[in-house]
Chain A
C-alpha cells in the first residue's frame, strides 16, 4: 500500500480565516513533505519533516505553519493567506530521511485551496 491521504479535498477561505490541511500515511515512512502546485506548473517544495522534525523550510512565508504531531500525520496551518496562495497543496512521504539516498516520494491527491 503506497497511499497518502489528504483532507479536505477542496477548501475555500477568506483572507482573515484560519484553516488547516491534514495529511496521513500508514506506510511507516519517516519523511513527509508539503508541496505547492500552481496550475500548469510542477510541484514546489515548501517543507520537509524528517523523523518528525522540521528539516527544510524553503523560505515559505510565516502565514504557512507546518506541524508534525507524529510519524503518520502532517498538518499545514493556514492564516491570513493571500489570493495568490490559491493552489493545489500536495503532501508526500518517503521511507527514510529526506536527503539520504534515492528515496521514492509518494504523493497524496492534494487539497485544492482557493483564497478569496
Chain B
C-alpha cells in the first residue's frame, strides 16, 4: 500500500518568511495529492490539492509542486503570517485505494 513520509515534523519561521513542507510517496499509481491545515481543536481543512497531470498549482500565498519522477510533492507558503500557524498534513491517493496521510508538520510563525 501507499506510504507517505512528511518532513519536517516541526517548522518555526519568522513572520514574512517562506515555509516549505515536503512529502514523498511510495506508490507511483498515486494520482491525487491534497494538503490539509488543522488548527487546534478543529478538523482538517483542505487548503490546496494537485492532480498527477499538473506539476504546480498556486493559490495566492500557497503553492504546491509535484515531481512524479521523484515521487515527491511540496507545500510552499510565502509571506507567512501568525494565522498560518497550524499542523499541516499532506496526503496521497491512488484510484481504487485509500487516501494516506503524512505524519504532519507543526508550523509556528513567530510575530
Contacts and interface: CB of A to CB of B under 8 A. Distances in A.
A66 interface: no
Interface in B53-67: none
A71 to B, nearest CB: 21
A102 interface: yes
A41 B104 contact: yes
B101 A42 contact: yes
Given A42-B89, A42-B104, A102 B43 contact: no
Contacts of B43: 4, 6, 88, 90, 107-110
Interface in B19-69: 31-32, 34, 36, 41-46, 49, 51
A112 B41 CA distance: 8
A45 interface: yes
A99 B97 contact: yes
B104 A107 contact: no
A99 B95 contact: yes
Interface of A: 2, 4, 6, 40-43, 45, 56, 88, 90, 99-110, 112
Contact of B45 (A41, A42, A99, A107): A107
Q: Give the interface centre of B41, B44, B101, B103 by most chain A CB atoms within 10 Å.
A: B44
A107 B95 contact: no
Nearest to A56: B98
A42 to B, nearest CB: 4
B32 A102 contact: yes
A75 B59 CA distance: 34
Given A102-B51, A104-B34, A104-B49, A43 B44 contact: yes
